[in-house]
Amino acid sequence: MAKKKFSKNWVHQHINDPYVKQAQQKGYRARAAFKLLELLDTEKLLRKGDVVVDLGSSPGSWSQVVRERLVGSGGVIEGRIIALDLLPMEPIAGVEFLQGDFRDDAVLHQLEGMLGGAPVDLVISDMAPNLSGVSSADSARIHHVCELAMEFALAHLKPEGALIVKAFHGSGFSQIVEMFKRHFKRVVERKPKASRDKSSETFLVARGLKD
């Protein structure tokens, strides 16, 4: 019974969520679009001509935001967007999509093949592991996902490039921040307005590779 009540509350919150309404009005596939918009604006990231890799992209709202920012005159994308997710994603014009598990080496090689050696300006990751509710196991999974995104960024970013990842406050969070600080010149924590107050999610923005 409690579960039913919880799901009713969630539906009520969701329907009355201003970001859900705005997403519907603007044609974004998820309210998460507004998190990325705020991060890009606050950090002054993403310019026409950039090469962007979107990890954990489905349903596609982050790729939609990036596409909007890269579209030039005549509706042509100036730059490149490569998106990857374990789940399928409805096509977005001009976005190259690869379905597969980022933790799988074969999928990673495919993604690298799509890049064809082109250096990347921005890596964005909204990836989140399936959480079990066991804090020690969950913090290890979150750390692993953040580490994978970071390793990919270190291998492919331009020296002045940037990485945005979703992490979660709690056990292991400070270790993730420290790990990022070892490799990037600037690391900041951001909690966008569209991120629900009750959520422990916090986005890390890392910029400029250390030599």
Predicted pLDDT at 6? 58
CA 5 to CA 112: how far, in whole Å?
A: 46
Q: Omega before 59 cis (within 30°)?
A: yes
pTM: 0.91
pLDDT 10s per residue in the chain (211 long)?
455 565 676 566 666 788 888 888 888 999 999 999 999 999 999 999 999 999 999 999 999 999 999 999 888 999 999 999 999 999 999 999 999 999 899 999 999 999 999 999 999 999 988 888 888 888 999 999 999 999 999 999 999 999 999 999 888 999 999 999 999 999 999 999 999 888 899 999 999 999 8
175 neighbors 139 (Cβ within 8 angstroms) = no
Predicted pLDDT at 1? 45
Residues labelled as active-site residues:
166
Predicted pLDDT at 23? 81
Give the count of alpha carbons within 13 A of 183, CB side only.
Answer: 19
CA 207 to CA 210: how far, in whole Å?
A: 9
List the one residue out of 156, 147, 148 whose CA is nearest residue 114. Answer: 156
Pairing of strands 157-168, 201-209: antiparallel
**φ, ψ dihedrals at 164, nearest 5°:** -120, 125
